[in-house]
Amino acid sequence: MKTKEIVLGGLLTGLALVIPLAFGGVLGIVIPPFSATLASHVPMMIAMIVSPGVAVMVGIGSALGFLIKLGMPAIAARAFMHTFVGYAGAKMVQKGRPLYSALIWTLPLHALLEAIIVLPFGFTLYQGLVGVGIGTALHHAIDSVITLGILVLPIAKPLGLSSRVR
């Protein structure tokens, strides 16, 4: 990885940790069996336009953030799925797809991975697929809009991020 990628990866990983730790109470939504922290996917989604390695770094940081904040392995495992979703999206962007397209295409992958990963933690198939899967799809869609909104802000341009949104 290049120095700029490592720095951006560190900053995005920091955000992936801070969002659940500092804002989980304010931005948290719980509709059992689903729970979400709004904007928690944003660092992973921004990482998609940096590089696949950065997306993986941020996914791991996200999982650690949720494990530290909540101490709940099922939620940390769901957050760890951001590693694979971010990597897949970053590979799409790397191959020339615009970010919005990568976000659309990774939505079903994200929902399915999070729905499946909770099954070993005692969730029923219905709770996993319907509660967590549909909840994750909606959460992914909301955070995609937030991400695209952030990337059109003036601060994204000096970081070289806005040109990759297309």
pTM: 0.91
- pLDDT tens-digit map of 71-91: 889 989 999 999 999 999 999
Tokens of 35: 């729970």
Considering only the top CATH level, what class is 3-164?
mainly alpha
Q: At what angle do helices 135-150 and 99-117 cross, to 10 degrees?
A: 150
pLDDT-flagged residues of the chain (< 70): 154-166
To the nearest 5 percent, what fractions of the chain are helix, strand and coil? 75, 5, 20
